[in-house]
Structure 1
Amino acid sequence: MDDLLRALSRIVFADRTLEEVLGEITDIARRNIPGTEATSITLIRADRSFTAAYSGEMALAADELQYEEGYGPCMDAARGGVVLRVDDMRTEQRWPQYVPRVVEQGVRSSLSIPLPYQGESIGALNNYATVPEAFSSPESLEAASEVAEVVAVAVVNLAAHAQLGEQARNMRLAMDSRAIIEQAKGVLMAQRHIDADAAFDVLREASQRYNRKLRDIAAGIVESTQDRQR
């Protein structure tokens, strides 16, 4: 457990994509959660479930089977916010369509932990093994729960960071557009001896007439003036 906590504490979030961080976390989980042979992270977006990262092909195959069937331990853990442990897939009675197919993939036991965020679940951490009762020890549940909390933090924080970055980009674009429009207004005011409101009306009318964005009309006026100056 100490090795797991140390490895999780060393994860770098800055200047990395969500995929990179989650990929590292699944590798750590696979090595440090007792019984685990393959690990994956299922996320839910607008009622759609998908595997955001995985370590071990068995995990991806098991996840994909559940998405095809529409249910299974990882999906039900993610949707319901409950821990789901399967000790032996060969005798498991839940998910009758999924179980026989995943047994063919060699999966004998699994442990799915919901990703907690503000009282809700945003996905699940999934662990798979080729032997029965691989996750029956309390240490498996404790370790998997620690990893699930880190995954939830990473998903929420990096998603928020990406949203802030997008907002900043949009703000810069808006400021650039505003600057271009102001320059074009200045050109029209000088050329036609009109005030700022009248200059803006000229730009707006041209935008409507030619069915082009106001910024593009303004950029064309500024560029034509600069060309003449050259």
Structure 2
Amino acid sequence: MLRELSRVVLANRTLDEVLADVTRIAATGIPGAEATSITLLRNDKGFTAAYNGEMALAADELQYEKGYGPCMDAGRGGVLLRIDDMRTETRWPDYVANVQASTGVLSSLSVPLPYQGSSIGALNNYSTKPAAFATPESLAAGLEVAEVVAVVVANADAHWQLGEQARNMRIAMDSRAVIEQAKGVLMAQRHVDAEQAFEILREASQRYNRKLRDIAQGIVDGTQQR
């Protein structure tokens, strides 16, 4: 399982795509898990970044509605939280009553995702059987996977951000090139300098309530069609 996790490709993929692979692998590798999800925390609010099994998503979303629960608290507090039987659990009374009735979940294991001395969320595992995660093997596998997931999340997030920055840079460069072309057309047609040409573009953008790049593209296209 850990070897398979280490082979997950990060480059040129979104964080959602990477985490979908991770949850699928984790769901088959943690003893007792029938459904698995990854909760990430942003501004103290949780969201399910990926899941394997509808039961996991439904159980997560019940916790987000309440603002608390084992996956939320594991992520916030950086502690492992295990529920052996929802029917006798007393720590989250509203949640355990609802999750049992609506999803059939009877036991769960939420493992914090450690990153640079803090927690960025939790790896959540659910089962319709009581005490599904009470074995040492389940706990050990959950901890091992959570460490790998934390690294994958951090790396994938970094790759995605770098990719977004590169894409945004390309878009900006393309826009700049079109604007420069349009300025050149205006300078030749109206015998104005570069600053005056840009002012013409800016005024047209405001007058017609259109993006500067779109105005510039229209001028360039009109020249090419002649």
- List aligned pairs for 1:63-82, cutoff 5 A: 63-82=60-79
Would you say the 8 A contact 2:46–2:64 is kept in 1?
yes
**What's the offset of the Cα at 1:84?**
0.6
Taking only the aligned residue pairs, the percentage that are identical comes to 75
Letter in 2 for 1:134: A
Partner of 1:126: 124
- Distance in 2, Cα, partners of 1:7 & 1:36: 17
Q: Which runs of 4+ in 1 moved over 6 A?
A: none
Partner of 1:144: 142
Gapped regions of structure 2 (runs ≥ 5): none
Does residue 26 (structure 1) correspond to residue 23 (structure 2)? The answer is yes
- Distance in 2, Cα, partners of 1:113 & 1:176: 45
Does residue 216 (structure 1) correspond to residue 199 (structure 2)? The answer is no
Partner of 2:83: 86
Pick aligned residue for 1:17 from 4, 14, 19: 14
User: Quick one: structure 1 residues 181 and 102, their matched pair in 2 at CA, closer, same or farther if it must change by over 3 Å?
Assistant: closer
Normalised TM-score (structure 2): 0.86
**What's the offset of the Cα at 1:96?**
1.0
Would you say the 8 A contact 1:18–1:154 is kept in 2?
no
For residues 190-220 of structure 1, give each alpha carbon's deviation from its aligned partner in whole angstroms, at most 9, with x where no partner exists: 2233332333333333334433333233223
Partner of 2:42: 45
- Distance in 2, Cα, partners of 1:206 & 1:107: 61
Gapped regions of structure 1 (runs ≥ 5): none
- Distance in 1, Cα, partners of 2:222 & 2:55: 61
User: Quick one: structure 1 residues 198 and 80, their matched pair in 2 at CA, closer, same or farther if it must change by over 3 Å?
Assistant: same
Letter in 2 for 1:99: V
Normalised TM-score (structure 1): 0.85
- Distance in 2, Cα, partners of 1:66 & 1:223: 54
**What's the offset of the Cα at 1:113?**
0.4
Would you say the 8 A contact 1:77–1:84 is kept in 2?
yes
Pick aligned residue for 1:196 from 194, 202, 206: 194
Give the SS at the match of 2:217: helix
- Equivalent pairs counted in the alignment come to 225
Letter in 2 for 1:210: Y
**What's the offset of the Cα at 1:175?**
1.6
- Distance in 2, Cα, partners of 1:64 & 1:210: 45
**What's the offset of the Cα at 1:22?**
2.1
User: Quick one: structure 1 residues 222 and 84, their matched pair in 2 at CA, closer, same or farther if it must change by over 3 Å?
Assistant: same
